[in-house]
Amino acid sequence: MERTQLQARRQLDDRYESVRSLGDLDRPNKGWIRAIRDALGMSGTELAARMGVSQQVVSEIERNERLATAKLETLARAAEAMDCELVYALVPRTTLEEIVRTQARRKAVRHLAHVVHHGRLEAQEVSEDELAAQVEELASWFADHRGLWIEGQTT
């Protein structure tokens, strides 16, 4: 792996630190647009006028948001009409580095399972400590090379 991938992960992890809690932010039952519109005391007709659309379109936008089918562009227009900012982000549940390490370990365990099986057939078992060390070593290798996310490929 190029050093730039590791640096990119670390830089993004640093940036995500301040927004990680947004992942725990549940969308209101009626959706953000409706919740904010109601809190502002703005009717659907008033929002429609500010957006330059019909009240029926606002109802469709709010429905689409609840169904998670609204377009980002539409959400941004609604946000602008309510003097809000649309914030769009994919927020990892943990650090990007941990996601890569977990995948690399998974791949290493799958790869070594074949080796361990053949070793048992040949009465050459490896101790648990040795196996754990091999998993970590192989995981480090996988984390630094292409193909980490290709299922079934272990080399």
User: What digits encode the pLDDT tens for the residues 82-116?
Assistant: 999 998 888 888 899 999 999 999 999 988 887 76
Q: Compute the distance between CA of residue 49 and CA of residue 65 in angstroms, rounded to an integer.
A: 19
* Segment among 47-51, 70-74, 122-126 with least mean pLDDT: 122-126
Tokens of 60: 């469709």
Q: Is the pLDDT confidence value at 133 over 60?
A: yes
What pLDDT score was predicted for residue 120?
Answer: 54
Contact 99, 118 (CB under 8 A): no
Mean pLDDT of the chain: 87
pTM of the model as a whole: 0.70
- Structural domains for the chain: 1-19+94-155 (no CATH), 21-81 (1.10.260)
